[in-house]
Structure 1
Amino acid sequence: MTVTTTLPRAPMDPGLASFLAQAAAQGNPPLESLPLEIGRQIYRDLAAGLGLPPPAVATEDRSIPGPGGSLQLRIYHPDVSGSLPALLYVHGGGFVIGDLETHDAVCRTLCHDVGAVVVAVDYRLAPEHPFPAAVQDVVCALQWLATHARELRADPSRIALAGDSAGAQLATVACLHTAGTITPRALGLIYPVAQHHSEPSASMAENGEGKFLTLGVMQWFIDSYLGGRSELTRHPDFALLSAPTLATLPPSWVATMGHDPLRDEGHALAQRIQQAGVATEHRHYPDGIHACIHFTAVSPLGGQVLSDLAQWLRGQVDAQPRV
């Protein structure tokens, strides 16, 4: 992995630094050492307890046929009249934790701020359902949205995708899989997984301990998702930096955080997308950490990231269609 430009550096946001210091003082066991369901519940509790109340929007839960059986979606409707854009949101959590509840506030915020119908997909998680189950589910959800957009009062020509961390990776892979059949307007990636730590980067060494996302939990995620099959670490549906081409992606927005182990691979991904000829905006937050979009009651930074993404998405889905 090659990153050709040095990103700005800054001390960690004070609110986030205080939160991490308090968490360290509690001496909690590493997430990867806990029973799986406890780890998943801890993520739900963090997301629910450390965020500001999101905007009130109407929601409905729906079940659709999926590759592995019933696939759950949560659909968010803004209080806006007329035909709307649609946004497929794919949650993060290392392919192992995370669900519709952990990212409910994120989806409500984007629904309100973009003025779009948001569809969140509850894709199958590892280790119960290893790679490529999550890929299949997200592709299925995107295809369903493209086919059923009008039922949701959305314009099928104004579809966008977004996600954070592993969800950003899955959203990107879904775009690549459906190239030529679905033409999204935009792809928003918040601290994306692009290669994980098969090739350790400077940001892995700098930020791999004590900054929420650790090397240990990342190894747990990758082992669970790939089922211990090391040959998959360079599969293009996992390692985006190994994809043969990214030229079919829609205009892309990539957010990286200065104190995130994934900083450098996110930066490299933004560069690769741009080098492929895709309009790309890379927003770097030098004082941020991984998962900060959940911690809006701790620091305003996560809210700023979502606001910046929403503003960019509005500009893309309200623009004239690409020729």
Structure 2
Amino acid sequence: MTLTNTPLPTSPMDPGLAAFLAQAAAQGNPPLETLPPAVGRQIYRELAAALSLPPPDVARAENRIVEGPGGPLALRIYRPLVPAPASVLLPALLYLHGGGFVIGDLETHDAVCRTLCHEAGMLVVAVDYRLAPEHPFPAAVDDAAFALQWLAAQAVELGADPARLALAGDSAGAQLAATACMRAGASVAVRALGLIYPVAQHYTEPSPSMAENGEGKFLTHGVMKWFIDGYLGGRDELRRHPDFALLHAPGLATLPPTWIATMGHDPLRDEGHALARRLDSAGVPVTHRHDPGGIHACIHFTAVSPIGHQLVVALAHWLRART
């Protein structure tokens, strides 16, 4: 879509997503931010498993442990079903999962990564980075940046082309993907960056979309505060740190061609839109996909609405064309 300062359009929420939210509200479960992080993580795993369509087949999914900056770091490597000789090196994607830097793991995003691997025909490496509040900022971004360097160094051994690398992530993972890319600079040849409803700026003053969508639409203002407080360890001065607040990061102009998705009923809609405009102004080629009827985390809700699956497939095809 064309990048302008005009507010992004909204439409009535997708009927399947609206029905899911109504059912969830009727159950009267305690707010996520009132629960211990370990309980929130298990709820997220169960929700993703229950509401996702069965993922497509891949050739293999291999778990691997490497020594990261904070100790053992778990990765999951997905290989696509592609009829190519073993000597042909594949493009590769490093994927950073969402979950507000507090929840999420390799299991919550397994279906997403399998879909990307299948649809893009790429080797996909998912990163189980350290989570807050046990490991506050900058642990997650340190792990993400390390994983990118690791992938670049090990690409050939994995059967991937180090000159055909991409990064992607959703929500907090999108923030980590962009930051890892800026940290790497010219040391890694990243061809493309995919950001699904990114965390780009979260200050004490809410954006219009945070005020508009901050209650009753899955990602609430209270949950977002819980995430950010846990990640930043309550240190408000870090809210403008360039490794956190993408809209104030000095290295935006160094990013590769970038694909950004926003949702009409997402509290993060406006900051994602602002990031797309900022990148465009910095000279970065930007593709902005906006779904007026979508909500945050819709990539997990593919069994109740087509929006999330269509979004992931669109990203996969964009990545395929640029790597």
State the TM bucket, normalised to the shorter chain.
over 0.9
Counterpart Cα distance in 2 of 1:31 and 1:247: 36
Counterpart Cα distance in 2 of 1:84 and 1:54: 21
Deviation at 1:7, TM superposition (A): 1.2
Counterpart Cα distance in 1 of 2:245 and 2:204: 9
Matches within 5 A, 1:112-261: 112-261=118-267
Match of 2:73 in 1: 71
1:245 and 1:276 in contact (8 A); partners too:
no
2:203 and 2:239 in contact (8 A); partners too:
no
Deviation at 1:38, TM superposition (A): 0.9
Is the aligned partner of 1:22 residue 2:34? Answer: no
Counterpart Cα distance in 1 of 2:95 and 2:124: 7
Deviations 1:75-98 (A, max 9, x none): 000011232100000000000000
Counterpart Cα distance in 2 of 1:72 and 1:162: 17
Match of 2:12 in 1: 11
Query: Which one is further off, 190-199 or 224-233?
Result: 190-199
Which blocks of at least 5 consecutive residues in structure 2 are unaligned? none
CA RMSD of aligned residues (A): 0.9
Counterpart Cα distance in 1 of 2:153 and 2:114: 23
Deviation at 1:197, TM superposition (A): 4.0
1:163 and 1:171 in contact (8 A); partners too:
yes
Deviation at 1:198, TM superposition (A): 3.1
2:69 and 2:146 in contact (8 A); partners too:
yes
- Which of 279, 290, 297 pairs up with 2:285? 279
Secondary structure class of the residue paired with 2:99: coil
Deviation at 1:55, TM superposition (A): 0.9
2:162 and 2:189 in contact (8 A); partners too:
no
Counterpart Cα distance in 1 of 2:270 and 2:54: 32
1:183 and 1:250 in contact (8 A); partners too:
no
1:50 and 1:294 in contact (8 A); partners too:
yes
- Residue type of the alignment partner of 1:171: A
Deviations 1:283-304 (A, max 9, x none): 1000000000000001011001
Q: What is the percentage of aligned positions where both structures have the same residue?
A: 73
Counterpart Cα distance in 1 of 2:235 and 2:203: 15
Deviation at 1:45, TM superposition (A): 0.3
Counterpart Cα distance in 2 of 1:164 and 1:52: 18
1:255 and 1:266 in contact (8 A); partners too:
yes
- Residue type of the alignment partner of 2:38: E
Counterpart Cα distance in 2 of 1:61 and 1:5: 45
Is the aligned partner of 1:306 residue 2:308? Answer: no
Match of 2:97 in 1: 91
Is the aligned partner of 1:60 residue 2:62? Answer: yes
Match of 1:34 in 2: 35
Counterpart Cα distance in 2 of 1:181 and 1:51: 37
Counterpart Cα distance in 2 of 1:56 and 1:44: 20
Counterpart Cα distance in 2 of 1:29 and 1:172: 33
- Residue type of the alignment partner of 2:134: E
Deviations 1:113-152 (A, max 9, x none): 0000000000000000000000100001000000011111
1:197 and 1:204 in contact (8 A); partners too:
no
Secondary structure class of the residue paired with 2:65: strand
- Residue type of the alignment partner of 2:18: A
Match of 1:320 in 2: none
Which blocks of at least 5 consecutive residues in structure 1 are unaligned? 318-323
Counterpart Cα distance in 2 of 1:307 and 1:36: 31
1:202 and 1:264 in contact (8 A); partners too:
yes
Match of 1:321 in 2: none
